C-alpha cells in the first residue's frame, strides 16, 4: 500500500482533528456536544495573552456557541461523577486484600502502568476518566432526556492533555464500534481553531452553561485539574458515604503542597477509621511509589497519580514554561481553588444534576448499570517495551 508519513510529534494529526471538528460543527445532521476540562478554563486565556490563571470559562462557552456548538457541557460535571464511582469503589475495596487503590483519571499514568507495572493493574480503580464518563453519558442519558437520536451525537473534548487523544482510541472505550469520544483537541489546537475562525478570546463576551442535565458542577469537580484535587474531592464524598454528614474541614491543606509526592492520613470515621493517602505527580515520584508498592513497603489505601508535574494545570497540551513550570501552574491552581471556594455546592454528591442522573438513570454508585457504563479494564502491554524502534516503524508503515 501507499506509505503514509506518520508525524512523530502528532502535528499532522492535530491538523486533521481540527478539520474534523469543523466538519462536525457545520454538518446540520450532527448534534455536537463539546466538553472542556477543569484545567482548560484557567490555562486557556494565556493563549490569547491574558495573565496566567485567568478564569475564561464564560468566554470559552461563548466562543464555542459562536463556532456553532449545539450543546456545551462541562468535564467538571463528569469529574463529580467520577468521584461518586471512585469513592464507592474505594469503600468496597477498603479492608479487602487489594491495597492500595490507584486513581485512573490520567491516561498517561494508565499507559505507564500497562507498560511498566502490569502486575499493579489489579490495583487501579476501574472508574473511567472524566473525559470518557462524560462521553458515554452524553451518548446514553443525554439523548434519552433530550429526545435526540444518539447516532447523531458527536462528542468533542478540549483537553490540556495530549494523552487524552490516545485514550479516546482505546478499544475498551467504544461500544459496538461507537467511540465514547469522537475527537480531542488540545488547548493549543483549540486556540488555533479560534484564531482561524477570527475569534479573539479577549473580545469574546462570556456566556454560561445552560444544559439542565450535564453541566452543573461542585467545587470538588473543579479542583480535579490540579495535583491532589482528585483525592480531596474523593475524601469529601467518602466521608459522606460513611457518616451521612459532611466533612467539617473540607479544604485539606496537607494535600495541597507541591512536592512530587505527598502523604496524609484522613480521619474518615465510622467503620473505616482513617484512610492513608498519597499523591504523586511527575513520572519519577510515580516510579518510586510503584516500586514501593511492588516491594510491599508502601502503607497506603489510596494513591492519586498525575503524570504531569503539577497535574493537568500544567498538562502536555497547554502552554508550558518547561523548567519553570511552577509560576504558571501555581497561578492556574490558585484559580481552581478560588472556583471551589466560590461554588455554592462543594461536594460531588450534592451536585443536583449528579443526584438526578443517579435517580433517573444509573441507580446507585457502582450499580450494575453504572458499572457497565462508567468502568473499564486495563491490559498488560509490557511487550510493547521490548519492541525496537525499527519494529515500531515497520508496524506503522505496514499498517498504512
Q: Quick one: DSSP state of residue 199?
A: -
Interacting span for ligand SF4 (CB under 6 A) from 20-28, 57-65, 200-208, 301-309: 301-309
Angle of helix 11-26 versus helix 187-196 axis, rounded to 10: 60
Alpha-carbon distance 216 to 364, whole Å? 19
Q: SS3 of 99, please?
A: coil
Which range of residues in 85-93, 117-125, 304-312, 343-351 is near ligand SF4 by CB under 6 A?
Answer: 304-312
Rounded CA-CA distance 157/230 in Å is: 20
Task: Select the residue whose beta carbon is closest to ligand SF4 and give its number.
Answer: 315
Question: Quick check: 79 binds ligand SF4 (CB under 6 A)?
Answer: no
The CB-of-106 to ligand SF4 minimum distance in angstroms stands at 3
Q: Check residue 161 for interaction with ligand SF4 (CB under 6 A).
A: yes
Among 42, 61, 106, 268, binds ligand SF4 (CB under 6 A): 106
User: Could you say which of 38, 219, 221, 311 contacts ligand SF4 (CB under 6 A)?
Assistant: 311
Would you say 108 or 222 has its CB closer to ligand SF4?
108
Contact 152, 296 (CB under 8 A): no
Contact between 230 and ligand SF4 (CB under 6 A)?
no
Q: How far is C-alpha 289 from the chain's CA centre?
A: 22
Task: List alpha helices for the chain, DSSP H.
Answer: 11-26, 40-43, 57-67, 75-93, 107-116, 130-138, 141-146, 163-168, 187-196, 219-222, 229-243, 283-295, 325-342, 352-357, 368-374, 389-398
User: Which segment (42-50, 159-167, 231-239, 385-393) binds ligand SF4 by CB under 6 A?
Assistant: 159-167
Nearest CA-CA partner of 127 in 145, 152, 142, 110? 110
- Binding flags for ligand SF4, 262-291, as an x/- string (CB under 6 A): ------------------------------
Nearer to ligand SF4, 100 or 225 (CB): 225
Contact indicator for 40, 20 with CB cutoff of 8 Å: no
For position 303 contacting ligand SF4 by CB under 6 A, the verdict is no
* Grid cell in block for residue 123: 490495583
| Residue 160 found at the interface with ligand SF4 (CB under 6 A) | yes
Number of residues counted as binding ligand SF4 (CB under 6 A): 12
Residue pair 185/162 in contact (Cβ under 8 Å)? The answer is no
**Per-residue x/- track, 316-345, ligand SF4 (CB under 6 A):** x-----------------------------
Closer of 308 and 339 to ligand SF4 (Cβ):
308
199 scored as a contact of ligand SF4 (CB under 6 A): no
Residue 308 Cβ vs ligand SF4, minimum distance, rounded to whole Å: 3
Does position 306 bind ligand SF4 by CB under 6 A? Answer: yes
285 vs 299: CA distance, rounded Å: 16
Instruction: Report the nearest approach of ligand SF4 to the CB of residue 75 (Å).
Output: 11
* Residue from 90, 163, 261, 279 in contact with ligand SF4 (CB under 6 A): 163
Please provide the DSSP assignment of 260-310 as one string: SEEEEEEEEETTTEEEEEEEEESHHHHHHHHHHHHHT----SEEEEESSTT
Q: Where are the alpha helices (DSSP H) in 147-227?
A: 163-168, 187-196, 219-222
In whole angstroms, the minimum distance from the beta carbon of 358 to ligand SF4 comes to 25
Distance CA 202, CA 194 (A): 12
Q: Out of 69, 268, 277, 308, name the contact with ligand SF4 by CB under 6 A.
A: 308
**Smallest distance from ligand SF4 to CB 86, Å:** 15
- Interacting residues with ligand SF4 (CB under 6 A): 106, 108, 160-161, 163, 306-308, 311-312, 315-316
Amino acid at each position: 500500500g501507499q506509505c503514509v508519513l506518520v508525524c512523530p510529534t502528532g502535528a499532522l494529526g492535530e491538523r486533521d482533528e481540527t478539520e474534523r471538528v469543523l466538519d462536525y460543527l457545520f454538518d446540520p445532521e450532527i448534534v455536537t456536544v463539546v466538553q472542556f476540562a477543569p484545567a482548560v478554563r484557567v490555562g486557556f486565556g494565556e493563549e490569547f495573552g491574558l495573565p496566567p490563571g485567568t478564569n475564561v470559562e464564560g468566554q470559552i462557552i461563548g466562543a464555542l456557541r459562536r463556532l456553532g456548538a449545539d450543546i456545551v457541557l462541562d468535564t467538571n460535571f463528569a469529574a463529580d461523577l467520577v468521584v461518586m464511582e471512585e469513592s464507592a469503589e474505594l469503600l468496597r475495596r477498603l479492608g479487602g486484600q487489594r491495597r492500595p487503590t490507584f486513581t485512573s483519571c490520567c491516561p498517561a499514568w494508565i499507559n505507564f502502568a500497562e507498560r511498566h507495572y502490569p502486575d499493579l493493574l489489579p490495583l487501579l480503580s476501574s472508574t473511567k476518566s472524566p473525559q470518557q464518563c462524560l462521553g458515554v453519558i452524553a451518548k446514553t442519558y443525554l439523548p434519552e432526556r433530550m429526545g435526540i437520536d444518539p447516532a447523531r451525537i458527536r462528542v468533542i473534548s478540549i483537553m490540556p492533555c495530549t494523552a487524552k487523544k490516545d485514550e479516546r482510541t482505546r478499544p475498551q472505550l467504544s461500544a459496538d464500534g461507537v467511540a465514547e469520544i469522537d475527537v480531542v483537541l488540545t488547548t493549543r489546537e483549540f486556540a488555533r481553531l479560534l484564531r482561524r475562525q477570527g475569534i479573539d478570546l479577549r473580545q469574546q463576551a462570556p456566556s454560561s452553561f445552560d444544559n439542565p442535565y450535564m453541566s452543573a458542577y461542585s467545587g470538588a469537580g473543579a479542583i480535579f485539574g490540579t495535583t491532589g484535587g482528585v483525592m480531596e474531592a474523593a475524601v469529601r464524598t467518602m466521608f459522606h458515604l460513611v457518616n451521612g454528614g459532611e466533612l467539617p474541614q473540607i479544604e485539606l491543606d496537607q494535600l495541597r503542597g507541591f512536592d512530587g509526592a505527598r502523604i496524609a492520613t484522613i480521619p474518615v470515621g465510622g467503620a473505616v477509621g482513617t484512610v492513608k493517602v498519597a499523591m504523586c505527580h511527575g513520572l519519577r515520584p510515580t516510579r518510586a511509589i510503584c516500586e514501593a508498592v511492588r516491594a510491599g513497603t508502601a502503607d497506603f489505601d489510596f494513591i492519586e497519580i498525575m503524570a504531569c508535574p503539577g497535574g493537568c494545570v500544567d498538562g502536555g497540551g497547554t502552554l508550558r514554561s518547561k523548567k519553570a513550570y511552577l509560576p504558571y501552574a501555581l497561578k492556574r491552581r490558585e484559580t481552581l481553588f478560588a472556583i471551589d471556594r466560590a461554588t455554592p455546592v462543594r461536594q460531588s454528591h450534592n451536585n443536583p444534576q449528579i443526584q438526578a442522573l443517579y435517580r433517573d438513570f444509573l441507580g446507585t454508585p457502582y450499580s450494575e448499570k453504572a458499572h457497565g457504563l462508567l468502568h473499564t479494564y486495563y491490559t498488560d502491554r509490557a511487550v510493547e517495551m521490548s519492541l525496537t524502534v525499527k519494529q515500531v516503524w515497520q508496524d506503522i508503515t505496514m499498517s498504512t
